[in-house]
Amino acid sequence: MPKDKTFLTVLLSLVFTQGIFEMLGVFSLTITRLIIETIILLFFIKIVFRKDRIIFPSFLLYMGFVCICLASGLANDKTFLEILMFFRRYGFLYLFLVAVINSRLGYKDKNKIEKLIIIFFILQVPVTIIKYISLGVTEQVVIGTINPTLGSLPAIYPMAVISVSFSFFLYKKLSVFQLASIIAASIFFGFAGAKRATVPYAIVGLLLTTFIFLLKEKYVLHFLKFIPILAFVGCAVLYFGLRLTPDLNPQNKVWGKFDVNHAIEYYDRYSNRSIGGAEGSGRINAIGASFRLLVADKIQLFFGKGAGDLIMSSFSRFEKDPGENFKYNLGYGIRTGFLQVLLQVGILGSLFLFSIYYRILVKQFESYFRSKDKKQSAHILAAIGLTTTFIIDTFSYSDIAIASLAFYIPFAILIGFNYRYIICSENLG
């Protein structure tokens, strides 16, 4: 079989060019995803059949999640293919993270893979500029080279990139100019994708990263030093974000009037839309509505409506009319990863799955607060930023982080490297 480095290089190349393949008519996104998933499966099988001891974080929790998926599907009369499609979307990709953790890469190859991810991220900028010039501000046409239809990606990528870059800036691994350039490019990526959430999520990423850094370093002087920088960057993101995003200014146009009150009122209306309207519930209302739907049947409260109940595929009995989120008249609000998992496998399935990522985050924090090396601390803080982006998106915005190849593959590689080369090394030491 190919070397581990080859597997990762091929996967990254496919993930970051799948949008181009789709637009040129070479492969559909479905075919590209099947190719990528086949490579992931081969990579995982290669790792399992090695004679080395396998590091499988939260193995029992993962097996518990698998068992709940089966029990939930069978209890709700779902077919095996429907159960498999749910697992494929929300459970399968974790096997790739396990494979990365157990990969055999020297530090030289590891650094090359990380640089490749950076190159692919940088490549999104000129593609986004070309998109803006030729198509203007639009949500679901040309999301960089990654995907022509993945509308939520422009909101989540900026938060992840800004959190990572700000982590290295705090440890003086990036200059002010480099940081400003990265933030500007990230915000433009979100703006060209017509995503209102880019602004608040970018600010959240900045605040969380700074707070965690100050919590560890306990530097009052650092706190005083970074307040002006943080305030300036935050205000700049807010100002340009509101003026460049039509929905967030009163004139509803690019470069409209800066009006914070209008933006707050818009977000409030958007997140609290009433159930049963043209677009269904907002994300906030959908939480209570989802629990009320499950509470009506105590078994479904714990095991959900059945694994695969909301998954669209040719194998599913669920017809997409008018959309997958409208099956229970809940609408757009249930598109978060948390509610998608909760409705399909209930409280038990959700606890098993999300506890896995919570434990990874806890290990990252433990490693970060033990670390004495500045370079190592910067890498761990960046990993924490990625994981918190993953969790925030999953619980408050979409299921892009947990279910899409475009986010999960680079996320798993960077988190897996951090786990392998820092956390595992500490435990062995």
Amino acid at 355: S
Q: Give the start-to-end residue ranges of the domains of the chain.
A: 4-272+334-428
107's CB contacts (< 8 A; 6+ apart) are: 421
HEC secondary structure over 400-413: HHHHCHHHHHHHHH
How confident is the model at residue 256, as a pLDDT?
Answer: 83
Dihedrals φ, ψ of 323, to 5°? 180, 155
Higher pLDDT, 252 or 194: 252
Residue 373, judged by CB atoms within 10 A of its CB (0-12, 13-18, 19+), counts as: exposed
Q: What is the pTM of this model?
A: 0.84
Tell me which of 274 and 355 has the higher pLDDT.
355
Rounded distance, CA 351 to CA 329, Å?
A: 25
Stretch 136-144: mean pLDDT: 59
Pinpoint the alpha helices (H) of 16-146. 18-24, 29-48, 59-75, 80-90, 93-101, 107-135
SS3 content of the chain, % helix, strand, coil (to 5): 70, 0, 25
The whole-number pLDDT of residue 219 equals 59
Q: How far is CA 378 from CA 6, 36, 217, 362, 418, in A?
A: 27, 31, 12, 17, 11
* E-assigned strand segments in 239-331: none
The rounded Cα 13 to chain-centroid distance in angstroms is 19
**Cβ-Cβ contacts under 8 Å for 248 (sequence gap 6 or more):** 196, 199, 241, 242, 262, 263, 266
More confident residue, 303 or 255: 303
If we measure between CA atoms, which residue out of 413, 300, 415 comes closest to residue 349?
Answer: 300
CA nearest neighbour of 195 among 272, 250, 148, 248: 248
Query: Can you give the pLDDT at residue 278?
Result: 41
Helix, coil or strand: residue 49? coil
| pLDDT single digits (tens) 187-219 | 888 777 767 677 788 888 888 898 888 888 765
CA pair distance 20, 112, nearest whole angstrom: 23
- Which residues on neighbouring strands pair with residue 331, listed in sequence order? 280
**Between residues 280 and 192, which one has the greater pLDDT?**
192
- Average pLDDT of the segment spanning 99-110: 92
pLDDT at 320: 46
| Top-ranked range on mean pLDDT: pick from 279-288, 306-315, 395-404 | 395-404
How far apart, in whole angstroms, are the C-alpha atoms of residue 300 and residue 298?
Answer: 5
Instruction: Write out the two tokens for 133.
Output: 């010039």
> In angstroms, how far is the first alpha carbon of the chain from the final one?
31
Residue 88 has a pLDDT of: 93
Structure tokens that stand for 429 in this block:
């030491």
pLDDT category of residue 19 using cuts at 50, 70 and 90: confident
What is the gyration radius of the CA atoms in the chain, in angstroms?
21
Say how far apart CA 295 and CA 129 lie, in whole Å.
Answer: 48
Q: Which residues pair with 143 in a beta bridge?
A: 147
Distance CA 202, CA 157 (A): 9
Residue 429 CA to residue 427 CA, distance in Å, equals 5
Predicted pLDDT at 113: 95
Write out pLDDT tens, residues 345-390. Answer: 999 999 999 999 999 999 999 999 998 898 999 999 999 999 999 9
- Report DSSP state, residue 93: H
Whether the ω angle into residue 2 lies within 30 degrees of 0, i.e. cis, is no
- How crowded is residue 27: how many other Cβ atoms within 10 Å of its Cβ? 17
Place of tokens 């900028």: 125
Q: What is the C-alpha separation between 119 and 111, in angstroms, rounded?
A: 12
Selection from 151-160, 392-401, 420-429 with the highest mean pLDDT: 392-401
Of 356, 362, 359, 364, nearest in space to 402 by CA: 356
Distance, in Å, from the CA atom of 90 to the CA atom of 25, rounded to the nearest integer, reads 28
